[in-house]
Amino acid sequence: MAMKLYDYGTAPNPRKVRIFLAEKGVEYELVQVDMTKREHKSPEFLKMNPSGKVPVLELDDGRYLSESIAICRYLEGVYPQPNLFGTDPFEMGHIEMRNRQMETELWSQIGVSWVNGPVMAKAGIYTQIPEAKAASDVNVKNYYERLDGELAASDYIAGSRFTVADITLLTGVDFASTMVGLKPDESLRNLWRWHALVSSRDSVDALQ
């Protein structure tokens, strides 16, 4: 029995895990959860993940893990090669730091723009706060500029090789570009050079 990954096509968090699994060369079964039908809030799904979010990994012994980076960390333990989280304590700390900066400083702001943007307004799930979206749109654009500066001195986002932090940034930027109307400006050449480098990897699926 293979592992199962509960996924939803355009959602960025399951995409992180799909790229991570492809880097590791692991076989698994993909199960689609239709978020437009609120299947991720069904009683069956909440038994796997009480938070009602994709992705969920079902292990071959029937245990579950959720939260994309937690799933990746489990996979790193079981399939250590290629290393994506760091090999010594300082590198592990540094990669975690960079990954968290991408999450708390960029993804969080993309998320605010997403839940207060036109797609989610139509879904009618959250009270819309246009002032929050106005602020987060600006924060995302400013952060792209910071990243462009940082990537002038570095091929990858957490040092000289591809790591989980690149996966987090790529999936965030692609989601922002295609679903949230926050594509980085063409003038940000270092950011786009990094984007082309990372997107060319065999593990990175074409955008849906």
Q: Which of the ranges 15-23, 64-72, 176-184, 196-204 carries the binding residues for its own copies, by CB under 8 A? A: 64-72
Comparison of 8 and 68: residue with beta carbon closer to its own copies: 68
Nearest-10 crossing angle of helices 189-199, 130-150: 80
Q: How far apart are CA 144 and CA 148, in angstroms?
A: 6
Query: What is the spatial distance between Cα 163 and Cα 73, in angstroms, rounded to a whole number?
Result: 12
Residue 66 C-beta-side C-alpha neighbours within 13 Å: 15
Q: Which of residues 90-129 bind its own copies (CB under 8 A)?
A: 90, 92-94, 96-97, 100-101, 104-105, 108, 126-127, 129
Look at the alpha carbons of 72, 74, 77, 81 in this order and tell me if their dihedral is positive or negative: negative
Count of other CB atoms within 10 angstroms of residue 147: 22
x/- string (CB under 8 A) for its own copies, residues 138-177? --------x---x---------------------------
- Is the preceding peptide bond at 184 cis, omega within 30 degrees of 0? no
Is 197 a binding residue for its own copies by CB under 8 A? The answer is: no
Taking the least distance from each CB to its own copies, the nearer of 88 and 186 is 88
41 binds its own copies (CB under 8 A): no
The angle, 0 to 180 degrees and rounded to 10, between the axes of the packed helices 130-150 and 108-115 is: 150
The answer to whether 135 contacts its own copies (rule: CB under 8 A) is yes
Q: Which residues bind its own copies (CB under 8 A)?
A: 50-51, 59, 63, 65-67, 69-71, 73-78, 88-90, 92-94, 96-97, 100-101, 104-105, 108, 126-127, 129, 131-132, 135, 146, 150
